A and B are shown apart, each in its own frame.
Chain A
Amino acid sequence: MEARIEDKALLPSTMALNLNTIRADFPILSRRLEGERKLVYLDNAATTQKPQVVIDAMNDYYANTNANVHRAVHTLAGEATEGYEASRTGIAAYFGAPRDNLIFTSGTTEAINLVAYGWARANLGKGDVVLTTEMEHHADIVPWQILSKECGIEIRYVPLDRETMTLDMEAFEIAVEDASLVCVVHTSNVLGVRNDVERIIQLAKSRGKGGEGAHVMLDAAQAAPHERIDFPELGCDFLALSAHKMGGPTGIGALFTTTDTMETMKPFISGGDMIETVTLEGSTYQKGPHKFEAGTPRIAEAFGWHAAVQWLDQHNMEDVHAHISSLARWTAKQMRDIPGIRIYGRHDLETTSGVVSFLHEMIHAEDLAHLMDAGGFAVRTGHHCAQPLMEALGVSSTARASFWIYNTMEEAEAFVNHLRGVVERFS
């Protein structure tokens, strides 16, 4: 049975984007695989493809500008520094923030580690509770476990409500009262569920730490490709994200934090570029984000990320989210009709991202991914760096298709039809 055409009525929002123009911006999407098969890239939650403007920005930087920043007085160094800092300004502005709120990191993982070792290690200790959740990526679990052994903080986990596949907010409301720091994933990389981060922040600020108010860190790696995040408006203390999940290059990301909070942080990576003066007796540090950016930074990557946010800025992110979410919702609905397929997530919610995690009762997830790849469909398989969530779901891994701005209804249909064929042939 082919995917039902009438269900495409679920997708009114896709009309708001010109997908032909969008797709033309991504050279990799015209690549042909073995046997001249079209590539259908559905591993966007792992990393998105890059528009030509990002590739050009990085190539142009290396071809015409390359120099180290913040140091030499020659022309290239001046241009590189100017471009690098303009990237900071532009990227911060995309997130509604002043440039001094943006610390460049290697990505979300390093950004969360910076919260752990730069802020928590300096400000928390025995008796403090870090409240996180079962829904987290390992990047928001392991640093806390390591820090807990080092300085005696206690980690508590908000459970997943197995029925609704959302966070157990009743448990959160109780647990938040003891928390000094709340660390929550904004949008799940496995379930696609968007947590009610506005309420989480409000509860943490009003009831956290016995009413004193807790600090809040949001892992926004999966949210930034979907929605326009305004860091000051959100009101969290830390916002961690990666460029490569929103059309930018790998190797760069950011930790946004407020000026006040930044002043209470200590550098955890030290060396060149973050110092004011160094003598053999001691050193003084730079102010603001530079204090946390030791060593030669990711200059070309900053240029590339800046180009990516400028590219994204051409589009209304509400339209983008509606498009991606509709594709995932339609796909999940069709997949539920395929015998033996089980979907993990809440695709009945409009806030859900482009992620569709699934399993087949007979075909192993890894086999599924290979069989889909044979048809040109790039999907992910594994525990998605979220083993506690896998345990809560009672599985060891899932297959995951994830959509982004350039994916089309035709691709979603082809995916469902190929999956249906795989299930018929291999189960």
Chain B
Amino acid sequence: MSEWPVALQEIIEDFQDCFDRMERYELLFEYAKRMPHPLPNEEWTDENRVKGCQSEAHVECIIDADTGFHIRGGADAQLVQGLMAVLAIGVDGLSPSEVAQLTPKFVDEMDVKASLTPSRANGFLNLFEIIRSEAEKYTNQPQ
């Protein structure tokens, strides 16, 4: 049985089917267009900025008692937005405790980590940590 949520597992398999790095990039560009809850540019602030990215990336988490965990986000570089969308689709609607238990290792399985520069890898890890810690915060709150 897969250790990843179903939606994320499907995305990982999508990337594993890619022939080479260019195809993986092409797929990331595709995912960038599928951000489930985009954060429009006018809502980009210093507070929601992801530090460590060379390009601009912004993210917010929404936790809804009925529909679960959602990520709103946007980035000016498509590869960054693609990674963000993968995560956003992969966790959309999960419970905060499920999100809090995720590890960023799914990027290794997608075989895109080698394509990330150290600064982009750091940026991605910062993005992941923002999301995970938001989920954890909510999980630990008395309901």
Contact B22 A371 (CB under 8 A): yes
**CB atoms of A382 and B54 under 8 A apart:** yes
- For B136, what are the chain A residues with a Cβ–Cβ distance below 8 Å? none
Additional A-B contact list (9), CB under 8 Å, known A366-B79, A426-B78: A364-B55, A366-B80, A367-B78, A367-B79, A370-B115, A370-B117, A374-B22, A374-B25, A425-B26
Is A35 an interface residue when CB atoms closer than 8 A count as contact?
A: yes
Does A374 contact B21, Cβ atoms closer than 8 Å? yes
Task: Give the nearest-CB partner of A35 in chain B.
Answer: B20
Number of interface residues of B (CB under 8 A): 17
Residues of chain A within 8 A (CB-CB) of B25 are 370-371, 374, 426
> Given A370-B115, A381-B54, A425-B26, A364 and B21 touching (CB < 8 A)?
no
Cα A379 to Cα B105 in complex, Å, equals 28
Residues on A with C-beta less than 8 A from B55 are 364, 366, 397
- Is B29 interfacial (CB 8 A cutoff)? yes
Q: Give the A-binding residues of B (Cβ under 8 A).
A: 20-22, 25-26, 29, 54-55, 76-80, 114-115, 117, 120
Please report the C-alpha to C-alpha distance between residue A198 and residue B29 in the assembled complex, in whole angstroms: 48
A379 to chain B, nearest CB (A): 12
Once A374-B21, A425-B26 are accepted as A-B contacts, the answer to whether A366 and B114 lie under 8 Å apart by CB is no
Separation in Å of the B120 CB from the closest CB of chain A?
A: 8
Of the candidates B78, B80, B115, B117, which one forms a contact with A363 in the assembled complex, judged by CB atoms under 8 Å apart? B78
Return the chain A residue nearest B56 by Cβ.
A396
Cβ distance A157 to chain B, nearest Cβ, rounded Å = 26
21 contacts between A and B (CB under 8 A): A34-B21, A363-B78, A364-B55, A364-B76, A364-B77, A366-B54, A366-B55, A366-B77, A366-B79, A366-B120, A367-B77, A367-B78, A370-B25, A370-B115, A371-B25, A381-B54, A382-B54, A397-B55, A425-B22, A425-B26, A426-B78
User: Chain A residues with Cβ under 8 A from B115's Cβ?
Assistant: 370, 374
Residues of chain A within 8 A (CB-CB) of B77 are: 364, 366-367
B76 contact set on A, CB distance < 8 A: 364
Can you name the residue of chain B whose Cβ is closest to the Cβ of A374? B21
Q: Which chain B residues lie closer than 8 Å to A425 at the CB level?
A: 22, 26
What residues on B are CB-neighbors of A381 within 8 Å?
54
Rounded to whole angstroms, the CA-CA distance of A276 and B55 in the bound complex is: 50
Q: B79 to chain A: which residues have CB within 8 Å?
A: 366-367, 370
- CB neighbours of B22 from chain A (8 A): 371, 374-375, 425
Cβ contacts under 8 Å, B78 to chain A: 363-364, 367, 426
In angstroms, how far is the closest chain B Cβ from the Cβ of A35?
Answer: 7
Report the bound CA distance from A381 to B76 in whole Å. 14
Mark each residue of chain A from 19 to 54: 1 if its CB lies under 8 Å from any CB of chain B, else 0: 000000000000000110000000000000000000
In the complex, what's the smallest C-beta–C-beta distance from A175 to chain B, in angstroms? 34
User: From residue B50, how far is it (CB to closest CB) to chain A in Å?
Assistant: 14
